[in-house]
Structure 1
Amino acid sequence: MIIETLSTFPDMYESVMGASMMRIAQEKGILDFKAHDLRDWTHDRHRTTDDEPYGGGDGLVMKCAPIFEAYESLCDATGKGSIAAPAEPAQGEGAAASAEQAPCEGSDSDAAEQALRDASAAPADREASKPYTIFLAPQGRRFDDACACELAKQDRLLFICGHYEGIDERAYTLADEVISLGDYVLTSGELASMVVIDAVVRKLPGVLGAETGALDESFADGLLEYPQYTRPATFNGMEVPAVLLSGNHGAVDRWRREQSLERTYRLRPDLLEGMELPDADRAFLQSLSTEGR
């Protein structure tokens, strides 16, 4: 799988993507990851990616022109690792005000309008190389395990990450999907994209050490995962459940299933709503509901 990110702070990915399972996935050739700097598709001295919002208000809004131009460049790129950013502008070219000073009608407005027109007139034969493009925003689909599984089926993902007060609304026309991690606000889309990328890459065959590792995790079957234990069998007076030491694999499987059901019932009962369960599972949940009556 190819995963790319487009943002103003690409260095944020170095520690996360260079460690643990994300690093292993790349070393195994399962994942090809690249963090692109949105500033490489700007054309002014200050590499400006944001501007003041039309209509006034606090904060700065990310400009759509660099995003469209970067998107076009990434879509036109062919082959892994062959994606190149445009050359840096000459020192005296396209001088514009800094982000703090630039008005909405900046000196590079003509270039911005041209980028939007070029994006709208993209050639039809480029569709084959088009990445599945994701924005991270509060109005998006709530991210969950099912969404991670769907994204893991894609060959190429591109995450376009916002910052500051938000992104010019016109950029969202590039999105195949908009995703939200939840009802809270983060400093940047880079942080949110790291969470999504990690959850997706773990689904790829060969990434986890155990072939079925991802199948037993929380939410994989709609339930919370059962409790886990390891040595020592006794610690500070706390005992590992005897069934796990019994060697009876059938009993262990039943215990784990019931623990998963009980934990979900007590901590996340909303996950059970509308879920189709075998009769044995429903009977066990019914026994929990009648406890203490």
Structure 2
Amino acid sequence: MAVKIDILTLFPEMFDIFNYSIIGKAKEKGIVNINTVDIRDYTLDKHKKVDDYPYGGGAGMVMAAQPIVDSIKKVKESNKGKVIFLGPRGNKFNQETAKKLSKEKELIFLCGHYEGIDERAYKYIDMEISLGDFVLTGGEMACIPVIDSICRMIDGVLKTSESYTDESFYNGVLEYPQYTRPEYFQGERVPEVLISGHHENIRKWRRLQSLKITRDRRIDLFQKLNLSDEDKKLLKEL
């Protein structure tokens, strides 16, 4: 049964990106079903307005509660998943959150716009996610990478689980260096261990490189690691 994802947005065409590459193939295979819902279709305003001036004054416009709430209620008729809002108050998105959400069978994403949404719509939201401490032009910009990172961990989307378990952040470390052909490029050779055919030595080399890169470039991640005895030995040898 396909994982069902509904996206409530003012710009459905922005999500055409999911018709391509790995996610597009997963849709064709029936592994994921990504559907967009235009919030404007649910406004009661005859001019299809979905925003208005904020009470109390201030710059910008605010998305009205009515079209948001009505679109959520309609989607809930066929999708019982969590309603996730892409907004600045949410916890910062990370790989751990992506892993948890990839286990869900149904999800609903709400993309905000303008200066935000009417506070009264929050009671229909189960979870809020932020990409970080910076401003985007709309929730769609944040929603795309969030859904992509979730979908690629759904069973069957990638060829093997190793395709994502070895990647940066999955196990708390940055990914080791990667090389491909040719063996020599501009006088620089691929590390000898990688062409040795010795799988255990390759595994240890990759682990050490991941630890070293994480320590050197993301000390915040490195300090959170629960280093194994082998990790400590590898670092000591380094």
TM-score, normalising length: structure 2 = 0.96
Tell me if structure 2 keeps the 8 A contact 1:132–1:157: yes
Deviation at 1:286, TM superposition (A): 4.6
Deviation at 1:253, TM superposition (A): 0.7
Aligned to 2:232: 282
SS of the equivalent of 1:262 reads helix
SS of the equivalent of 1:167 reads coil
Aligned to 2:7: 5
Percent sequence identity over matched residues?
47
Number of residue pairs the alignment of both structures matches: 236
Tell me if structure 2 keeps the 8 A contact 1:62–1:167: yes
Deviation at 1:263, TM superposition (A): 0.5
Task: Name stretches of at least 5 consecutive residues in structure 2 with no aligned partner.
Answer: none
Aligned to 1:266: 216
Partners of 1:229 and 1:204 lie apart in 2 by 27
Aligned to 1:195: 145
Residues 110-121 of structure 1: matches in 2 within 5 Å?
A: none
Deviations 1:155-181 (A, max 9, x none): 111110001111111212112110000
Aligned to 1:46: 47
Partners of 1:283 and 1:51 lie apart in 2 by 61
**Counterpart residue identity of residue 66, structure 1:** P
Which moved further from structure 2: 39-48 or 26-35? 39-48
Tell me if structure 1 keeps the 8 A contact 2:208–2:234: yes
Aligned to 1:25: 26
Which moved further from structure 2: 155-164 or 203-212? 203-212
SS of the equivalent of 2:159 reads coil
SS of the equivalent of 1:165 reads coil
Deviation at 1:249, TM superposition (A): 0.8
**Counterpart residue identity of residue 270, structure 1:** D
Q: Does the alignment pair 1:225 with 2:175? A: yes
Partners of 1:158 and 1:197 lie apart in 2 by 10
Aligned to 2:93: 143
Aligned to 2:111: 161
**Counterpart residue identity of residue 242, structure 1:** E
TM-score, normalising length: structure 1 = 0.78
Larger Rg: 1
SS of the equivalent of 2:84 reads strand
Tell me if structure 2 keeps the 8 A contact 1:265–1:285: no
Partners of 1:28 and 1:212 lie apart in 2 by 20
Q: 2:133 aligns with which of 183, 196, 201?
A: 183
Partners of 1:287 and 1:264 lie apart in 2 by 17
Deviations 1:63-103 (A, max 9, x none): 011111111111123xxxxxxxxxxxxxxxxxxxxxxxxxx
Tell me if structure 1 keeps the 8 A contact 2:6–2:75: no
**Counterpart residue identity of residue 10, structure 2:** T
